[in-house]
Amino acid sequence: MPSPSPAVRTVKTYAVTPRPNPQAPRQLHLSAWDTAMLSPHYIQKGLLFKNPSDLSLEQIIDRLRSSLEEALFHYYPLSGRIRAVTCEESGVTCHVEVGCEGEGAEFVHAVADGIGIADVVGADGQDLPEFLKEFFPLDLAVNFDGSTNPLVAVQVTVLIDGIFIGYAFNHVIGDGTSFWMFFNAWAEIARCKAAGKEVVLSQPPVHDKWFIGGYGEPPIKLPYSSPAEFVVRYTPPPLRERMFHFSSESLAKLKARANRECDKVFILKVGPLTGNLDIYLLT
């Protein structure tokens, strides 16, 4: 029996490389918690938009690509690759670092035939559609795969009545906050370019790493002979994933109820652009 055809087909894949940044070092050392993230998967986030009335698909693709190129100039480590450095004397892996050689990011233009916004959003409390996994590049890649894969990959999937932008962001190079800082900078650059304004980031990135005192200077040494000894690939068991919709009104009611019923102060926060619900307890 033939396997079902994929819901998403790739139109074209681009390599987006920024112009050289004279301030970029040749390598970026990893902190202890960065090194601990070599085996987990890439961060995946997605945004869903209706078709804009004032832009063509070609204009959207061109603006996203050109502004991504400029964003990578400022966030230059995201254009690099992860590399394991081997000691010549002992032959073991000395450390893992990010090489800032400007290899670039990946930008994919794809089309989901016959799929619309209503199919993506789904019904409240229903299982996620299987095709949603095809909206994200580098699915199931672990962070150490950034030695051969880009550290950032973007897939723009064209729907019947909208556009889904899926992102893969290497967790070694940054966390969720770092990702959204980069994304917001990318959006800011796109707006500046569209308006013909000079690009000046309102929140420039900070690339300096902090290392715990008393543990020696970077790089952090790893006592392994090959990456196969410290990279673990995890395949999750079959899981059912469901989608839940939260309105701003329901979140406000939940926050008020939590504050009424407890002498502690709870802060309910929806993550920027993600819709993820975070709950903080202030004691």
28 vs 275, more confident: 28
> Given this model, what pLDDT does residue 213 score?
67
Is the distance from CB of 189 to CB of 67 less than 8 angstroms?
A: yes
Q: What share of the chain is helix, strand, coil (3-state, %, to 5)?
A: 30, 25, 45
Cα(186)–Cα(52) distance, rounded to whole angstroms?
19
Give the model confidence (pLDDT) of 8-30 as tens digits: 999 999 999 999 988 888 888 88
Confidence band for 282, pLDDT divided at 50, 70 and 90: very low
Chain length of the chain = 283
Q: Is the pLDDT of residue 3 over 80?
A: no
Query: Quick count: other Cβ atoms within 10 Å of Cβ 144?
Result: 23
Cis peptide bond upstream of 219, omega within 30: yes
Listed in sequence order, the DSSP H helices in 54-175 are 57-74, 117-121
279 vs 174, more confident: 174
Give the domain ranges of the chain.
Answer: 8-240
Query: Residue holding tokens 């709950």?
Result: 279
Cα(221)–Cα(195) distance, rounded to whole angstroms?
48
Q: Is the pLDDT of residue 4 over 80?
A: no
Architecture of domain 8-240: 2-Layer Sandwich (3.30)
> Given this model, what pLDDT does residue 219 score?
82
Confidence band for 257, pLDDT divided at 50, 70 and 90: confident
**SS3 label, residue 280:** strand
Query: Residue holding tokens 């964003």?
Result: 71
| Range of lowest pLDDT (45-59, 124-138, 210-224, 267-281) | 267-281
Q: Is the pLDDT of residue 258 over 90?
A: no
Structural tokens at position 160: 């019947």
**SS3 label, residue 178:** helix
Cα(162)–Cα(128) distance, rounded to whole angstroms?
18
Tell me the whole-structure pTM to 2 decimals.
Answer: 0.82
Mean pLDDT of 129-158: 94
Is the distance from CB of 44 to CB of 168 less than 8 angstroms?
A: yes
Confidence band for 254, pLDDT divided at 50, 70 and 90: confident
Q: What share of the chain has pLDDT > 70, as a percent? A: 87
216 vs 150, more confident: 150
Of 243, 217, 254, 222, the closest CA to residue 90 belongs to: 222
Q: What share of the chain has pLDDT > 90, as a percent? A: 45
Q: Is the pLDDT of residue 280 over 50?
A: no
Is the distance from CB of 9 to CB of 115 less than 8 angstroms?
A: no
Structural tokens at position 149: 């894969």
